[in-house]
Amino acid sequence: MLRKILIAVLAVVVIGGAVGWFNRNAIMTALLMRRIEATKENVEPTREVVWDQGPATADAPVSERPPNVVFILFDDFGYNDLSTFGGGVAGGRVPTPNIDKLASQGAIFNQAYSGTSTCAPSRAMLMTGRYPTRTGFEFTPIPDGMAKALPIFAAGMDRGALPPTVFNPEFDEEKMPFKNQGLPGSEVTIAELLKTKGYHTVHIGKWHLGEAAEFKANAQGFDESLNMHNGMYLPEDDPNVVNAKLDFDPIDKFFWAKLQFAATFNGSKPFEPGGYITDWWTDQSLKVIEANRNRPFFLYMAHWGVHTPLQATREDFEAVGDIKPHRLRVYAAMVRALDRSVGRIMAKLDEEGLADNTIVVLSSDNGGAGYVGLPDINAPYRGWKITLFEGGIRVPMFVRWPKAIKPGTRIDTPVAHIDVLPTLASAAGVPLPA
């Protein structure tokens, strides 16, 4: 009898302790969420973006000018997200016809690699044509407080086979502030090179190469910059949005607490974009093409899709059909929006008579992310963003330039983002920096 009583008491203590631990974790998570949400900024109402207007008439025909350059970059885009290579989201149920068309009209690189396996240093390589170790910009900056928050969020999650989240407080104390982690201004970007040839240079979308003024796009060679100030595609409660929250991912939980629907233009105060971010940025890119049709221009269209948080328009969500699970359907709808963006940009170049002498490059900053919980997005390659397996660094890369590249060209020679700057500089007739 005494033994049974002792076992019962021990069980109560263990269960009570476990319940107490879970309650403690839930309280800590809730408090942390409130602290993160309290750091949000004031965001002004939507405003019109007024782009610089180029000359009313051209000095020379399009064919005799240096080629325009449009670089379209996706974020965390899986190699198998495209139907170009015979794949496609949800087993090919969501094709990418506009991207496939772009690829077929120029060169497809069969072995293309990102600058590294995470976004910021990969983007730095694209801009500079230099390895991250050379520039010193080797790691992706994350917002202050994020590293400390992730283990707290992760403690209450069933993360399956995902690796543990570990916080190093000593390193966190020593690191420089988030806004000062940027690509050094002494580096020479492709935008700075093209400006020496008379190009008008425009950045739209994600930058992620530093938040302080000396690191921003306007200080790195871009005449105009419509910057993603925070990473929501639409407000969470927008009637036109379909959200997919990932209950197994601490990064996702941090983003939903921290991020806002906001943009800045040439260093302005944050304001609300004029619609679903993929479509609104595309709207703005069409205005840029029209405004600069009579002079050489470089448009860096740096999409946020398909990076988390997963948010799609209701129209795209309905269009892709009854795909399971819910997060895959939202992801598929986001891919559909990106494909539409490419189609609209290509159509605008045709409409303005610029297509033949415009170099269009399409790629992704790295492979698809494992933490979205979609196992096939990098198929047939293993690994994810943050790993150096093929799935983390193998990316699509297509180049269309009707004036110089034959349709249906396929290139087996391995290429990487480090090749982009010298290639574009050569095409524009700009000497490389020492």
pLDDT digit string (tens) for 265-280? 999 999 999 999 999 9
Compute the chain's Rg from CA coordinates: 23
In a domain, 401, yes or no: yes
In a domain, 26, yes or no: no
List all residues 6 or more positions away from 337 whose beta carbon is below 8 Å from its beta carbon.
276, 278, 279, 305, 312, 313, 316
What is d(CA 319, CA 329) in angstroms, rounded to the nearest whole number? 10
Q: Per-residue pLDDT for 172 more than 90?
A: no
pLDDT of 64: 93
Tens of pLDDT along 292-334? 999 999 999 999 999 999 999 999 999 999 999 999 999 999 9
List all residues 6 or more positions away from 193 whose beta carbon is below 8 Å from its beta carbon.
221, 421, 425, 428, 430, 432, 433
pLDDT of 20: 54
Beta bridge partners, 312, equal 242
pLDDT of 39: 85
Confirm if 281 and 204 have CB atoms less than 8 A apart: yes
In a domain, 4, yes or no: no
DSSP letter at 393?
Answer: H
In a domain, 6, yes or no: no
Tell me, rounded to whole angstroms, the distance of Cα 260 from its chain centroid.
Answer: 16
In a domain, 19, yes or no: no
The rounded mean pLDDT for the chain is 92
Q: Per-residue pLDDT for 359 more than 90?
A: yes
What is d(CA 101, CA 346) in angstroms, rounded to the nearest whole number? 10
What sign does the CA torsion over 382, 388, 390, 396 have? positive
In a domain, 3, yes or no: no
Region 130-139 average pLDDT: 93
Question: CATH number, domain at 115?
Answer: 3.40.720.10
Region 393-398 average pLDDT: 97
Total domains in the chain come to 1
pLDDT of 10: 45
Region 181-202 average pLDDT: 97
Tens of pLDDT along 21-34? 446 777 877 787 88
What is d(CA 301, CA 227) in angstroms, rounded to the nearest whole number? 10
In this prediction, residue 203 has a pLDDT band, given cuts at 50, 70 and 90, of very high
In a domain, 22, yes or no: no
Instruction: Residue 271: give the domain boundaries.
Output: 39-428
Region 206-231 average pLDDT: 95
Q: How many residues does the chain have?
A: 434
* Residue 32: count of CB within 10 angstroms of its CB: 18
**What DSSP assignment string belongs to 331-371?**
HHHHHHHHHHHHHHHHHHHHHTT-GGGEEEEEEESS---GG
What is d(CA 163, CA 62) in angstroms, rounded to the nearest whole number? 53
pLDDT of 164: 83
In a domain, 368, yes or no: yes
CA-closest candidate to residue 310, choices 244, 360, 252: 244
